[in-house]
Amino acid sequence: MQLIDGKATSKAIKAEIKTEVDSLVLAGHRPPHLAAILVGHDGGSETYVAYKIKDCEEVGFKSSLVRFEDDVKEEVLLEKICELNGDPGLDGFIVQLPLPDHINEQKVIETINPKKDVDGFHPLNVGRTVIGLPSFVSATPFGIIELLKRYHIETSGKHCVVVGRSNIVGRPMSILMSQKSINATVTVAHSRTKDLETLCASADILIAALGAPGFIKEHMVKEGAVVIDVGTTRVPSSETKSGFRLKGDVIFEEVAPKCSYITPVPGGVGPMTRVSLLSNTLLAAKGNIYS
């Protein structure tokens, strides 16, 4: 069994990005600039945005944080998005989700200029991904594909089972795995899938993105399978300072001995999600997606 080290891989990618940023700046360009819009004070969202800002600093990007209180009116948020859409000094921005209930999330996503949609959530980017055009791909699937490539994992002709069909993970993951450059044969499973255990056990590549800690057990994994654990559920823990720890969708200790490759939680997919936002921002700054 080989452990897929997302932490080390993301570190290597960050170093590559930093090198590119240094050459851009040396050539007289301004550094790439990412902004984040944060509504309210949700603990998880605050942490994620703080990470994003820290990541930007590490690779030499400029970053900006735009804050609104929980009760911000939808039209005020949309106006700000339109302002950022037109800001020539900004390459990309994200609106940290989830948003308060009174704000229509889909409307927010669709107001973002697709050329600056570095989260890859806008339907234009999703559609371009589906038909294999250059696009901003949502960060988690982007990061997983990068892991498979960098570990030279054979995907062609393999049966890939993706458990989960969310718009940000499962669905785009299944699309990417079926593309001509990857060539896997893909099955998408969800909460209504029948005989999920047998289906998972038939996978050469099993991607678990359910958010159900410890759901994937030893008998659900084929000998020699590649297992990618996307799940990150916070569970209470007396052993950490924060009072919680992250638990994956896979029972690692049971499943790992059967695998050819497996991602740990934490240290697998999570760091790759973070670095993929930087990769998308660099692509936006270089005008690589929409030229």
Which residue type sits at 290?
Y
- 40 close to 2: Cβ distance less than 8 angstroms: no
Cα distance from N-terminal residue to C-terminal residue, the chain? 42
How many other C-beta atoms can be found within 10 angstroms of the C-beta atom of residue 113? 18
Active site residue 52: yes
| Closer to ligand NAP by Cβ: residue 120 or 270 | 270
Which residue type sits at 123?
P
| Closer to ligand NAP by Cβ: residue 92 or 271 | 271
In the block, residue with structure tokens 């000998």: 223
Instruction: State the nearest-atom distance from the C-beta of 197 to ligand NAP, in Å.
Output: 10
Nearest in space to 226 (alpha carbons), one of 121, 154, 149, 120: 154
Of 55, 91, 119, 229, catalytic: 119
Active site residue 229: no
- Residues 6+ away with beta carbon under 8 Å from 102: 74
| Closer to ligand NAP by Cβ: residue 56 or 269 | 269
Which residue type sits at 2?
Q
Phi, psi dihedrals of residue 277, rounded to the nearest 5° = -65, -35
CA distance 226 to 87: 43
Instruction: State the nearest-atom distance from the C-beta of 69 to ligand NAP, in Å.
Output: 25
Of 5, 14, 52, 222, catalytic: 52
Instruction: State the nearest-atom distance from the C-beta of 244 to ligand NAP, in Å.
Output: 13
How remote is the C-alpha of 108 from its chain's centroid?
Answer: 19
Nearest in space to 19 (alpha carbons), one of 284, 282, 288: 282
Q: Which residues bind ligand NAP (CB under 6 A)?
A: 140, 163-166, 168-170, 189-193, 196, 209-212, 230-233, 269-270, 273
User: Length of the chain in residues, anyone?
Assistant: 291
| Closer to ligand NAP by Cβ: residue 103 or 169 | 169
Instruction: State the nearest-atom distance from the C-beta of 231 to ligand NAP, in Å.
Output: 4
Active site residue 5: no
Instruction: State the nearest-atom distance from the C-beta of 25 to ligand NAP, in Å.
Output: 29
Strands 233-236 and 244-247: antiparallel
Of 96, 117, 222, 229, catalytic: 96
| Closer to ligand NAP by Cβ: residue 123 or 224 | 123
What are the structure tokens assigned to 128, written together? Answer: 């371009």
Please identify every residue annotated as catalytic: 52, 96, 119
